[in-house]
Structure 1
Amino acid sequence: MNILSLGRSLASFIVVYGGIDLVAVHAFAPLRSLSADGLPRRRLTSRFSAGVDLKQNEDLQKYFQAAEERSLAQFARDDAPAWLQTIASLPFECTACGKCCKTIGSVYLSSEETWQAAELMNISSTEFIEAYASDIIRDSAEASNTWVRLKEKEVLKGTDHSPACIFLNSDTNQCQIYEARPTQCRTYPFWPNLLASPDAWDAEVRRMDHDSESTLLEWTPDAGGCEGMMILDQNSTTLGVPMKDVYRQLREYRQQDRYFPTGDKKADTER
């Protein structure tokens, strides 16, 4: 593809995408799930496909992949904790235990995440909020920036069960809105506070229930933690999630967190 053809394809992309420039595309990453190459999936599969087909346009796809790689490299250099640049990967693999959904805390959805979850359930946003939200958090500086806090499942008195996310299926330990789960859930355990230092990461590691001989801490609803994480050492930092994916998750969380109303502190009560 020559420069002129590439320029026309990019122009088509901008028109179809609604006038958003290429740099701004990444600002929307936290507001919807990402495709394998880090591009916003929802817009690309609906409006974008009407003008440019990424699968048939190999040069354009390479352009976006290269742009994403440069963006992640810059993020790693300028915005990520320095210690992350010394390792190849972070040792984590989800065990589908569901414990992160049972840890005492709160789950927050942005207005777009609320809409996506409601769409998945085939109900309106109003119906979703009435059925599943415990609080509505409004930004006094911007009326359109509205968030909701999810309800927790009711726990029978006299039992030792902890409150769980209202969307956790008790029988399967599966999220009932997994395809539209919020950024907060999708990016765990790659949150800023857990990546602040190696010690912060290690402090979140928990032993598996069947591993009674382990010296690791046991998971509790109050303290939380994750059995899918491993203590950092020379061997473990070559396993698990590649750093480019870690950076992508960390960047997504930070971008989303910037939109949370500044008058409300959510970090201390996050699940």
Structure 2
Amino acid sequence: MVKRDGFWFCFDDTRCKTCKALCCIGEGYVFLTNEDIERISEFLGLKREDFLKTYTRKVFGKIALIDLVIKGEKRCVFLDDNYRCEIYPVRPKQCESFPFWEKFKELSLNKLKKLCPAIEECR
């Protein structure tokens, strides 16, 4: 069970193995830092420019990963057919920090569980 200071909820990361990647499907954006761009580009064996051209777009003046729509489902470009992240070892910081996002502190447990069934109230 993963706990973080300042958060009232915990995250059971062992449940990710059976999840259908709810955190990678649906509306939203994955914004990238310069460090993310460098790590992912290197991991994929691409030049920075090629990575940016192929896998990203500008949203609100920031660089974000593109989405794909597969079988009517909007999903991260790096989510494979088995609902696993193809770049997991170098996933963006935003993904790595999920679900410990400041905006989630105000949500109820029921709302959080709809976003991620591995979220539990800390005891």
TM-score range, shorter chain: 0.7 to 0.9
CA distance in 1, matches of 2:50, 2:100: 31
Aligned residue among 48, 60, 74 for 1:163? 74
Q: Which runs of 5+ in 1 are unaligned?
A: 1-71, 85-89, 139-146, 207-224, 239-271
Superposed CA RMSD in Å reads: 2.2
Residue number in structure 2 paired with 1:111 = 34
| Match for residue 204 of structure 1 among 90, 112, 115 | 112
Q: CA deviation at 1:168?
A: 0.3
Instruction: Map 1:131-146; keep pairs closer than 5 Å.
Output: 131-135=54-58
- Structure 1 residue 162, shift from structure 2 partner: 1.7
Give the distance between the partners of 1:127 and 1:179, measured in 2 at CA.
20
CA distance in 2, matches of 1:121, 1:193: 31
Return the structure number with greater relative CO, CA threshold 8 A, min gap 6.
2
Question: What amino acid sits opposite 2:101 in the alignment?
Answer: W
Identify unmatched segments of 5+ residues in structure 2: none
Structure 1 segment 1-271 matched on structure 2, within 5 A? 80=6, 84=8, 90-94=9-13, 95-96=15-16, 97=19, 98-135=21-58, 147-155=62-70, 159=71, 161-170=72-81, 172-196=82-106, 200-202=107-109, 203-206=111-114, 225-230=115-120, 232=121, 237-238=122-123
The two structures have a TM-score, normalised by structure 1, of 0.39
For residues 59-84 of structure 1, what are the alpha-carbon distances to aligned partners after superposition, in whole Å with 9 as ceiling and x for unaligned?
Answer: xxxxxxxxxxxxx9xxx5xxx47xx4
Closer, same or farther in 2 for the Cα pair 1:201/1:191, shift >3 Å? Answer: farther
Q: Which segments of structure 1 move beyond 2 Å, counting only runs of 4 or more?
A: none
The Cα shift of 1:154 comes to: 3.3
**CA distance, structure 2, for counterparts of residue 189 and residue 204 of structure 1:** 9
SS class of match (1:195): helix
Provide the C-alpha distance between the structure 2 equivalents of 1:191 and 1:101, rounded to a whole number of angstroms. 15
- Larger Rg belongs to: 1
The 1-side partners of 2:59 and 2:113 are apart by 32
SS in 2 for 1:116: helix
